[in-house]
Every structure is written in structure tokens, then in C-alpha cells.
Amino acid sequence: MAQLWGGRFTKETDDKVFAFNASIRFDKNLFGQDIEGSIAHAVMLGKQGILTVEEKDAIVKGLAGIREDVESGRLAIDETQEDIHSFVEAVLTERIGEAGKKLHTGRSRNDQVALDMRLYTRTHVLELDGLLKELLAAILFIMEENVETYMPGFTHLQKAQPVTLAHHLGAYFEMFKRDRQRLKDIYFRMNYCPLGAGALAGTTYPLDRNYTASLLGFEGPGLNSMDSVSDRDYLIEYLAALSILMMHFSRFCEEIIIWNSNEYHFVEIDDAYSTGSSIMPQKKNPDIAELIRGKTGRVYGALMSLLTTMKGLPLAYNKDMQEDKELSFDAMHTAEVCTALFTKMLSTMKFNKEAMEKSAVNGFANATDAADYLVNKGVPFRDAHGIIGRLVLYCIDKGVGIDALSMEELKAVSDKFEPDIYDAVSLKTCVEKRLTLGAPGPEAMREVIRLHRAYLKEDWQKGTEKNE
């Protein structure tokens, strides 16, 4: 098969070398972006007089026809071609003749593939951001419904202090909000056009790179042609952002898995997002949560792979960079599927409020508040800490909570205890008196929820629609 670069060679490429070198098996995912970039390039060439109006029109019409035929299934992508760029150019030339051979004027496959991958990544940044916004809306709905749903807060997986379900899920709202902020940063930092950089040193043709960038929705052209063709920072940043996102999902899934266990029974996962056992009929397994947790490592792998690929590359383009695609495509798809499935799983999940509150009562989550009670009665904190520690030991021995002890039992430990201790260590009091912004108290939570509602009404994507 004739290659785009075959003129300098006197021998055919070895079949195994061709297969090893070819990328169409995976870069066919960039078909839409290759057509989009090629149309913009042709329009710019026509504007600059490098193509005649007739040549420009024939190329644009031909590219649009190829896109329509591939998308409708009338034309299959020929995987015997070296890459998607070769396929598009070959079909175009076959359909419109000599004008098709002029499309590549003023560009290289180096800046062409750099453009395609940037366009592809940009689209997926916006898509994932939309999915995350839906997830945040689902979390916020649960928060609004559970401002007074008491549960234990944990440190070291030990019950620590009472919180609410709204407060606990609010922590994940903050995590996923930061994930969206990272996507926004990446989008605007990556949104510069490499097309026109050529192989590495630009071109002698009078290209209008600003015009091409504008046609494709970029802020402008890249300002260094060597960097434009060899930059994969934006992709590394995106994979890093996906890795952090998946870490957040993994943490959340870990808690859901624990909460779903018979020992906790805090949640019940909907049947649609659970599976059973082939041998144990009583089982209802949190497999979706477990799979999302497991796929986190898969996304980490893509990040480490690309970092390793790029770490020793001299300027400018090197064939190693072909390895930026397969694992990146997989990581993007994985993160998007996990986000969509997790949102649906969370939205259909039932929370066992009674079990949560009972767990908080039985776990001495109010012990710190009992110590604070004594401090307010004039007992030094270190002494109060020791008194409540002894009280907890006594309660453990009796198998009861602090609020279940009689006044006589409490007085036997410290004469500072009065009947108001029972109100002081109730879950309601323990939570409600935590009123600082960011704490689980109901007034503080309602203010946070108000801020979250306002945040979700914002749309940083507004104005980017022309880019997609």
C-alpha cells in the first residue's frame, strides 16, 4: 500500500512493521475531529488564496460527505490504512480527484494529530463536567432531605462524633466540586490550537492561524510550533484529574460497601445496581460500587503510562507519542461510565435513618460533648477527658450508652453531673450546637446547601457551545 511518506523509500514496509506502526485501530476514534479540523484547514487555505474557491468547496463538500457516510454506516473505515488521516485523505482524493491531494498543504500529520487529540479531549472534558454536575445535583438533593438524619462520624473507622447524613455527603459534594474546578482549569489552559505548527517549525505558506483557531473554537493558536506538536501536558493533566475523581469515587464506594454490610445496614442499594451469588441465595452484593472502586487503578495506569512515555522525549514530535491514545480513550470512557452509573446508584439508594441514629448512640459519639459539659462546669479539660474515659469503660461493661446511665451512676464518677447532662449529650443537641460554617448543625448546613444551590446554577460552559 502506498504511504503518504513513501517517496523517499525504495522498499515496501515489512508487513509486521506496518502493523506495529499503524494506529488506525484506535485512532479511528478521532474520525470526527479529523474531519472537523480538515474542514477548518481547507476553509482557511481558501481564505488565504492557497486553494481556489472551487478546490476549497470541493474539499469541504467531500469531507462532509465522508463524515455523513461513515456516521450512517454507508462507508466503513478501512483499517488497512496506516491511520485515520490516511483513510480520510485517500477517500477524499478518490471522490474528488486531484483537489483532495491539496488538503494537506501547510500542515503535517504531527500538528494534525495534535489537533485531533486536543479536540477529542476538549469534548470529553465538557461531557464529564456535565455528568459531574448531575451527580452534584443528586448529592445535594439527598443533603436537603437529611439535614436532621443523625449518624456517627468516623476517624480511623472508629465512631468519633455525631454528624448528619447531609454533612457526611457534603464532604463528597466538596470533592466532586473540586473535580469540576479542575476540569474548568484544564479546559481553558488546553484551549489553544496546534494546527499550523507543521512538523515542528511552522510552514512557508501564508497561513492565518488565528482564523483557523477561531473556526475551531480555540482561544488562539499555540505560540511555539515545537511545543504545539509535542505538548501532551493537557492530556496528562486530564488523566491526573480523572485519577483524583476516581479516587473520590473509590472512597465513596468503599463507604457504601461498608454501609451496605449486615453489620451496618445504613443503606440498601437498589436491586438494579446489585447482583446476587451463584451459590448463596441470601446474598445481595454491591458489585457496581466494587467495580467502580476497582476501575480506579485502571485510570491510574493510564496516567502513569503517559507520564512514563513522555519523561525522556526530546523535542519535538516522537513516535512514542502515539501511545497517548489507547489508554487515554479507555480512561475517559471509564470515568464517564463510572460517573453516570454512580449517580444512578446513589439516586436510587435507600438510607436506613434508624440504624444510623442507633449506631451513633451506641458508639459513644457523644463522649466529647460529655467532656465539654464538664468543662463548662469548671472541670479542667484534661481532668474531664479522664472522667469521661472512665465513664465510657463503665458503659462498655454495662453494655449501655452514656445517656442510659442513672444520675446516681453519673454522680459516682463526678459530682459535677446534673440532670441537664441528658440534654447535653443527646444527638440532637450534639449536632445542633455545632453552628460554625462547615459544621453539621442544621442552620450551618442550610447555609451551605443554599451556597451549593447557587453554585449549581452557574455554568462555566456557557459560551463554549460553539467549540463542540
Q: What share of the chain is helix, strand, coil (3-state, %, to 5)?
A: 65, 5, 30
Q: How far is CA 124 from CA 130, 186, 328, in A?
A: 10, 11, 11
Cα(33)–Cα(373) distance, integer angstroms: 65
Start-to-end Cα distance in the chain:
35
Strand partners, 158: 155
Residues 6+ apart with CB under 8 A from 82: 1, 3, 4, 18, 21, 22, 23, 24
Furthest-apart CA pair in the chain: how many Å? 101
Which cell numbers in the block locate residue 342? 454512580
3-state SS, residue 205: coil
Q: Which of 72, 156, 278, 406 is catalytic?
A: 156
Contact (Cβ atoms closer than 8 angstroms) between residue 388 and residue 374: yes
Decide if 385 is catalytic.
Answer: no
Q: Which amino acid, residue 238?
A: Y
Phi, psi of 192 (to 5 degrees): -130, 140
Tell me whether residue 265 is one of the annotated catalytic residues: no
Amino acid at 411: K
Catalytic residue among 277, 333, 359, 452: 277
Tell how many helices (H) and how many strands (E) occur in the chain.
19, 6
Say if residues 426 and 361 touch (Cβ distance below 8 Å): no
| Lookup: cell for 197 | 505548527
- Residue 452 CA: distances (Å) to CA of 111, 150, 151, 275, 317: 41, 21, 22, 34, 44
Active site residues: 156, 277
